[in-house]
Every structure is written in C-alpha cells, then in structure tokens.
Amino acid sequence: MIKAIIVDDEKLSRNTLKKLLEIYCPDVEVIAESDNVASATIQVMQLQPELVFLDVAMPGKNGIDFLKELDDIKFEVIFVTAHDKYILQAIRLAAVDYLQKPVDGQQLITAVSNAAKRIIQKSANYQVKTLLHNMQPKINQQEMQLCIPSLKGFQVVQVSDVIFCEAENTYTYIHFKDNKKTLASRPLMDYELLLEDSLFFRIHKSTLVNMRHIKEYQKGEGGFVTMTNGKQLEVSRRKKESFVTKMKEVFKY
C-alpha cells in the first residue's frame, strides 16, 4: 500500500478524490487529509507519507509555499489544480504529475502509477526542485528549467540552453548550446506542446527550434535556418508561411 495525504482546502474535492482512489487506485491508502499548509506540514513530519496529493491554489499559503517550507521532501507529489496556464506550464516543464479538476479516473491511474515507480526506485525528487525554480517570481519562460526523462533517469537543464529538438522515432534528441545532446524518452510532439509558450517552433516534422537561437533564415522552397551552434536546419514548405509570421512577431521586424 502507498501511504498518502490529501491537501486541499475544499472538503468536496478531498471527498471526491478519496472516492476516486478507492475505485481506481485501491493500493493507495489515504492516511490523513488537510485543508491548509500548517496542518499539512505537521502531518508530513509525523506520518511520513510516500505520496501527497497537493492542491496548488489555497487561501493564505498555497501548495508551492508548502513545498518551499519543507527542509527535505521525501515524498512524491501529484498536484491537483484548476486550469492556470502559467502554473501548468511550470509543472509540465518540471515533468511533475498533475491532475486537473474535475479529476479524471484514467489520468488518476496514470499519475499514481508514475508515482509508484518513483517510490520503488527511491529516485531523488528532481521534478519538485525544478518546479520550485520555475515558480520563482518574475521568471520568464526561457529562464525556466526543463526536466528531461531519459532511459537512465532525469536531466535538468535551462530552457534557454536548448537550441533545437530532433525526432528520433518515438524519442527526441535534444541539442544544447555546449554542442552536447541527450536522448529524451518522449516524442517530439510532447516537446512541441510543452515548449509552445517558450518561443519554440516546429519548422519541420522532425525539428523543433528555439527561436532565440536562430542566427539566420535563408529563403527557398521552404528555406533553411542557421542556429547559434552552426547547424543548418530545413524549414518545410508547409511550415514556411507560419514560421515567417512567427519570426515577425518575435523579432518585431
């Protein structure tokens, strides 16, 4: 059994999540629940849960404040949140599991399954640390960190260090400005969605570029871009018009 705590200021939300866990995730035992950060902190210290379902938006101190105040995070976190574009972007970049209200049963199963794997592996909670970085006040999208899952674990990088992403079947090669690259165990489509607010653009079916790293664009049937690492990448004919429009928006020419 996975020992879990639910932290949410809405009693109805807590009751609904408990019922869904009973139906879809019988291996999760809810050992406590809390409607505020202060009591949740005490429960975590006393009960040592393996998993915390954490609401982001609560009166007073919120879910992010709760994590910031803990000296050592020894549990996995699944965020439960209403839609907030900025918060969801920070969560996705950090590869943290989350559930949007109203909670869907299949998504709950997937999130709990992911958390269970990390509990068994006793992996360091890189995702939460990355999220806390991303939630710093006034941080922009390029300054955020990206948690990249690989076959060996996780790698944390600055979004601004990524030059381009390249499809490799169902995986993605991510190229960095130090001329290194890593193979991420997620498809390129995932990174297209993940980085859509961070000035990345899909110029080809197999290529996603960081527009802040484009040095030059050469016209052609589709054309080519030259990146800051010297790589020349093809722009597909189908993407040319939308790419040029996006360039004009970003660089104001």
Task: Name which of 73, 79, 42 is nearest 57 in CA terms.
Answer: 79
pLDDT 10s digits, 60-101: 888 889 998 888 888 999 999 876 677 888 888 888 889 988
Distance CA 228, CA 247 (A): 16
User: Do residues 135 and 63 lie in contact, with contact meaning Cβ atoms separated by under 8 Å?
Assistant: no
Beta bridge partner(s), residue 76? 51
pTM of the model: 0.77
pLDDT digits (tens, 9 = 90+) for 218-252: 999 999 999 999 999 999 999 999 999 999 988 87
* pLDDT for res 117: 86
**For 9-26, what is the mean pLDDT?**
96
Q: What is the pLDDT of residue 123?
A: 62
Q: pLDDT tier at 204 (50, 70, 90 boundaries)?
A: very high
pLDDT for 137 beyond 80: no
The 10s digit of each residue's pLDDT in 107-120 is: 999 999 989 988 88
Cα angle: 190, vertex 191, 197; to 5 degrees: 115
Residue 199: what pLDDT? 92
Please name which of 31, 34, 28 lies closest in space to residue 14, comparing C-alpha atoms. Answer: 34
8 Å CB contact between 174 and 162: yes
pLDDT greater than 60 at residue 124: no
CA distance 76 to 63: 14
Q: Is 8 helix (H, G, I), strand (E, B) or coil?
A: coil
